[in-house]
Structure 1
Amino acid sequence: MSLTLRFENAEVLKPEGWTTDSVGVADGVMNADADGRAVDLSGYRLLPGMIDLHGDGFERHVAPRRGAMLDPRGGIASVEAELASSGITTAYLAQFWSWEGGMRGPEFARKVFAAISDLKADFATDLRIQLRLETHLLSEFAAAEAELDAHDIDYLVFNDHLQHDRLADGRRPKQLNGQALKSGRSPERHLEYMQSLHALGPDVPAALDALAERLRARGVRLGSHDDSTRADRDQAKARGVIIAEFPETYEAAEAAKAMGDGVVMGAPNVMRGASHKGNVSAIDLVGAGLCDALASDYHYQSLGNAALKLINDGVCDWATGWALVSSGPARIMGLDDRGAIANGKRADLVVLDQNNRIAAALAGGQVSYMRGAVAERLFG
């Protein structure tokens, strides 16, 4: 149920900075004229709800053990609860469509997409899907497109996890045995499959060009993953790919920004102080103005914590740091109805307590999470 009320006496983070303006909520949007009950939030901060463009932490909910993935719906419900308690009001669940099989294979993806579609109307949090398509899986392109249409998926990211250098040299890929186990194939059969996909290399560019053109005509936003060079970005841009997700180098991020494309970095990278793979530091890119948005990647709670770390460490101010998890991702995805505290925007709000911990979250004017004294103030 969408609330009608007015939050008063909080520190409110608006696009122009901190204010103490009251914030009215009615019919799921922020409304300066909302005639609702006043809720005293003195001692608290009120900020825009967070938008997560890439989170795959849901995997541990829907498949806590290998093989335990018959029905992901129960897991999706627990995912939404974790997102809400993390202050995330819009979440893109990043699901592979890959030759890697298991939780990354098309069969599992179909189950996840169906579960999200079945359940999303029951949640306050706006659950969405990011489809991560492996570039060499040409035989599955048509099936992936059908899923986009069936589940209203508006974000697709191109991935290429084949170890081309090793395959070209006739060497065994790293972690082959572990990958084969997850895929349900023997190591020998998995290697043969990878080699067959690698051999499709000459056919991939034209197939991707045609697919990208069809997807853009549908209004699907396209992203690339793990760009490492300027040439990578040039190729992606020529294909209409306008989001650079987790670029591996300063060069690739700088090239994306110069092209006017959105750059998304991982919040866990910020929390660690560096990439776990030795790639460019997200903190350095934020400091250089080369990052538009942070994403939770594999850990939902890291999204808000990363913004706070950047602020507390003096890398950026509150407005800039929180924009990385609110207005920045909204702008990248063309979500003009959210991402800031402003009249007419969706009532996606986060309440922080005196220790900057999540005390409450509202998504579309509905309470998605609340605890402690804020609940007492709201409900009396």
Structure 2
Amino acid sequence: MPPFLPPLCLTGAEVLTGDTLVPRPVGIAAGQIVAAQGAQGQGLPAVDLSGFLLLPGIIDLHGDGFERQLFPRPGAAFPLTAALDAVDREAAAHGITTAYLAQGWSWEGGLRGPDQAETLMQAVLDHRARALTDLRVQLRAETHLVAEAPRLIAAVERFRVDYVIFNDHLEEGFRMRRDNPDAFAHWARKAGLDTAALTARMEAARLAARQVPRALCLMADAFDRLGVTYGSHDDPDAETREVYRMIGARVAEFPTTRRAAAAARAAGDPVLLGAPNVVRGGSQAGNVAAAELIRAGACDGLLSDYHMPALPLAPWRLADDGILPFARAWALVSSGPTRVLRMVDRGTIAEGLRADLAIVDPARREVVATIAGGRLSHLAGRVAERFLRLPDLARLAAE
């Protein structure tokens, strides 16, 4: 694993503290945030970050953009080691310090099947020895793959997965086959199938519909025993959200309508929305606009979904549109997600927590440096020269 930064005091930056940006020094030592006054008193070297923002590192609870690194074209797989290295560095370049790779566990097979999921989970564990970003796996469990429920439970326990989301994209698949054959054919190619084979898998999954409730309860009981956070994905209405809530799947990820989000909020369930939806000004699939739900107070966190660069951009868009002040908007990509998964060691800039930090150039609105767990994972732009003035950091960069 890359070494910790030497003990440092970061000075001069506007630091996100609570709901405001205030100028104050921040100390880092042994991978944690420490008292800056103590650090200065010990004569630790300082890095002048005047003109920059010092923000908590981004916590991404769901991103499936990593699939492009593994399979840049249908049927063109790349080695997992190289793909995870690329995902790791992309995350760091956008201020992400913890990233959950949203891996499918689906009847469609291929890159979203159980075999691929288990391969990825093992690769992520192996990758930790050299990781820059805290990479984890979120399993997206298709509800109609009931025969594989025991295998999924065993995989969650074996690979220490702490976050599972239930999906039900079966009827969406049948609609796609009917209304958009070209898109359906592309979906089949991604799964390594032709359209007839994918249709056969969908029809077999549909035959298992009566077994779905029992399989969901089996998985929910296991997740409660293992301490796994779980929820549902793309809830279309309040009734669907209520069904999942009743079995303990409390997280509402990407609700597609106002009614589904309102039902989650009324029950006290966390609501997670897509950062690309915010940046683009609406859903590319025609679902409810994330900004509308955020304005109504129905959002606990933003996710990268299919595009990592959207996460550091979304808070700026929310501030520009007058929906939230920037400091509160940034909380949707940092402290908000940590509360959903009860991650008490990160998400804010406070003594004793992990040194997870994003340094942002407000003039260009870009992440110019990322510190993940006290390790320098990304350094670029005009801030690089300030860090590299320090002899210890120059030596680390040379290595």
TM bin (shorter chain): over 0.9
User: Cα gap change, 1:307/1:16 in structure 2, threshold over 3 Å: closer, same or farther?
Assistant: closer
State the secondary structure of the residue aligned to 2:170: coil
Once the two structures are superposed, residues 256-283 of structure 1 have per-residue CA deviations (whole angstroms, 9 ceiling, x without a partner) of 1111111110111111111111110001
1:25 lines up with 2:34 in the alignment = no
For structure 1, which segment, 237-246 or 106-115, has the greater mean C-alpha deviation from structure 2 after superposition?
106-115
Once the two structures are superposed, residues 221-253 of structure 1 have per-residue CA deviations (whole angstroms, 9 ceiling, x without a partner) of 002000111111111111101210000011111
CA drift of 1:46 comes to 0.5
CA drift of 1:166 comes to 5.0
CA distance in 1, matches of 2:178, 2:288: 27
Residue identity in the other structure for 1:54: H
- Gap runs ≥5 in structure 2: 390-399
Match of 1:368 in 2: 377
Once the two structures are superposed, residues 336-357 of structure 1 have per-residue CA deviations (whole angstroms, 9 ceiling, x without a partner) of 1111111111110011113221
State the secondary structure of the residue aligned to 1:163: helix
Match of 2:280 in 1: 272
CA distance in 2, matches of 1:294, 1:345: 22
Percent identical among aligned pairs is 46
Match of 1:77 in 2: 85
CA drift of 1:187 comes to 3.0
Query: Which aligned pairs between 1:198-217 and structure 2 lie closer than 5 A?
Result: 198-217=206-225
2:386 is aligned, of 367, 377, 380, to 377
User: Cα gap change, 1:368/1:174 in structure 2, threshold over 3 Å: closer, same or farther?
Assistant: same
Match of 1:58 in 2: 66
User: Cα gap change, 1:377/1:185 in structure 2, threshold over 3 Å: closer, same or farther?
Assistant: closer
- Gap runs ≥5 in structure 1: none
**CA-atom RMSD in angstroms:** 1.7
Residue identity in the other structure for 1:220: V
Match of 2:311 in 1: 303
Match of 2:365 in 1: 356
State the secondary structure of the residue aligned to 1:103: helix
User: Cα gap change, 1:164/1:325 in structure 2, threshold over 3 Å: closer, same or farther?
Assistant: closer
Residue identity in the other structure for 1:13: L
What's the TM-score once normalised by structure 2's chain length? Answer: 0.91
State the secondary structure of the residue aligned to 2:65: coil
CA distance in 1, matches of 2:203, 2:63: 29
1:10 lines up with 2:18 in the alignment = no
1:325 is aligned, of 326, 333, 341, to 333
Query: Which aligned pairs between 1:139-150 and structure 2 lie closer than 5 A?
Result: 139-150=147-158
CA distance in 2, matches of 1:165, 1:124: 37
Match of 1:127 in 2: 135
Once the two structures are superposed, residues 274-331 of structure 1 have per-residue CA deviations (whole angstroms, 9 ceiling, x without a partner) of 1111110001011111011000001100011011111122110022100100000010
CA drift of 1:372 comes to 2.9
Match of 2:171 in 1: 163
1:93 lines up with 2:101 in the alignment = yes
Asked whether the 8 Å contact 2:75–2:190 carries over to 1, the reply is no
CA distance in 2, matches of 1:18, 1:164: 44
Match of 2:396 in 1: none
Match of 2:393 in 1: none
Match of 1:346 in 2: 354
State the secondary structure of the residue aligned to 1:129: strand
Residue identity in the other structure for 1:11: E
Asked whether the 8 Å contact 1:133–1:156 carries over to 2, the reply is yes
CA distance in 1, matches of 2:367, 2:215: 45
CA drift of 1:361 comes to 0.5
Once the two structures are superposed, residues 145-174 of structure 1 have per-residue CA deviations (whole angstroms, 9 ceiling, x without a partner) of 22212221100000011017959xxx8585
1:236 is aligned, of 237, 244, 247, to 244
CA distance in 2, matches of 1:361, 1:287: 29
1:108 lines up with 2:116 in the alignment = yes
Residue identity in the other structure for 1:379: L
State the secondary structure of the residue aligned to 2:330: helix
User: Cα gap change, 1:299/1:16 in structure 2, threshold over 3 Å: closer, same or farther?
Assistant: closer
Q: How many residues align?
A: 377
CA drift of 1:59 comes to 0.8
For structure 1, which segment, 110-119 or 220-229, has the greater mean C-alpha deviation from structure 2 after superposition?
110-119
CA distance in 1, matches of 2:356, 2:109: 36
Residue identity in the other structure for 2:374: G
For structure 1, which segment, 105-114 or 332-341, has the greater mean C-alpha deviation from structure 2 after superposition?
105-114
CA distance in 1, matches of 2:15, 2:111: 41
CA distance in 2, matches of 1:125, 1:189: 38
Residue identity in the other structure for 2:20: G
CA distance in 2, matches of 1:370, 1:261: 37
Once the two structures are superposed, residues 46-86 of structure 1 have per-residue CA deviations (whole angstroms, 9 ceiling, x without a partner) of 01000001001111111112222263110110110000000
User: Cα gap change, 1:2/1:165 in structure 2, threshold over 3 Å: closer, same or farther?
Assistant: closer
CA distance in 2, matches of 1:357, 1:316: 19
CA drift of 1:255 comes to 0.9
CA distance in 2, matches of 1:288, 1:52: 22
